[in-house]
Amino acid sequence: MSGLRPLDGIVVADFSRVLAGPLSTMTLADLGATVIKVERPESGDDTRSWGPPYSATGATYFESVNRNKQSITLDLRDEDDKVIARELAATADILVENFLTGGMDKLGLGYEELSQLNPELIYVSVTGYGSKAGAKIPGYDFIVQALGGLMSITGEADADPMKAGVALVDVLTAKDATISILAALQNRQNTGRGAHIEVNLLSSLQGALANQGQAYLGAGKIAGRMGNAHPSIVPYQLLNCAGGSVAVACGNDGQFAKLCAELSVDELAADPRFATNNQRVENRKELIPLLEAALAADTAQSWQRRLTAVGVPAGKVANIAQGLEFSASLGLEPTIQVVDGDGTVTGEQIRHPATWTPALDSPRQAPPKLGEHNAQVRHWLSAQVNASAESRS
């Protein structure tokens, strides 16, 4: 290991809970930042009790986004604890919070007040619907998927709208928050000033609509549900075969010709109805049954192997365990082992997805127990405050 930790020395005060904020701060921690998670006494982050499932050490939901952090419990209604919270904010490089708009201000922990104490502070507010007309609306991923349009394009055409199988909007918002934080750190290096960054679930969802969003803005086309089919590419969907289905993605006419050759239906590639992607989109209802009739001769596993070998992207539908196994077979090392303070392995987690050269020395500390670092953080803060006072005298 090279010892490379890009955010070494950066301190993050994490006042967020549940998913979007904690995932962003865990990403910063994976990159070397010191993340101090502020939690309510006794109960802590809501997700500590979100189960089942539970691992041997706690709720797997909480553990998924809180490794490499230190936990301190503070009652933000208590004046003494608020002093500690302010000291932490005054010392930190970054503060992340997801209170309802105005909630941190009422506690004396809003951006305007804290930026007076710490002009270099990068203050990140994560909300559901922004700080204007939607400020008082609680942000829940499921509801945002409904209101923001994602659910309307997810699911089968003749069935109910569906949410994604994970809290995707929270994850997208965490990515947007992290990107903004890293940009703000660079900007601070250039200007010497911090910033107040606002991210919200609704905007992150709509920023991720990509081609579907632009289809409406540019062409007036409001997308609907198409199951696993693609609105602009054919075939690009699950196709039935012997004993199941296989995902096939022909991104160009050459791949379609290779598909037809491997299926022994070369005539389809020359058929005027299907020769180009535009024609295949127009005539998908006629094409798909013809392809599925040929695919019925073999299994999904076999078609995955055969089509991949001739340059046609294809794959059987795997569950999460099979997906991780496949990733490992490619040498992607999708998981890491995390350890407690004594160095004892406590479990396995999905690793930070990027691979660095030279190698990133990402910490592997297990998610903290509630208040595990109370004494340690308080001692460190006291030293920081004393050092700051001495420098001013």
- Residue entry with tokens 């900007």: 187
Show Cβ contacts of residue 348 under 8 Å, excluding neighbours closer than 6 positions: 335, 336, 337, 338
Q: Which of 14, 141, 170, 176 is catalytic?
A: 170
Count CB-CB contacts under 10 A for residue 136. 11
| End-to-end Cα, the chain, rounded Å | 42
The answer to whether 46 is a known catalytic residue is no
The 244-249 sheet, strands edge to edge: 236-241, 244-249, 314-316
- H/E segment holding residue 339: strand 335-339
Cβ pair 260, 253 in contact under 8 A:
no
Closest residue by Cα to residue 353 from 337, 328, 330, 332: 332
Show Cβ contacts of residue 236 under 8 Å, excluding neighbours closer than 6 positions: 229, 230, 248, 249, 250, 251
Show Cβ contacts of residue 298 under 8 Å, excluding neighbours closer than 6 positions: 241, 242, 306
Q: Which one-letter DSSP state was computed for residue 313?
A: -
Active site residues: 170
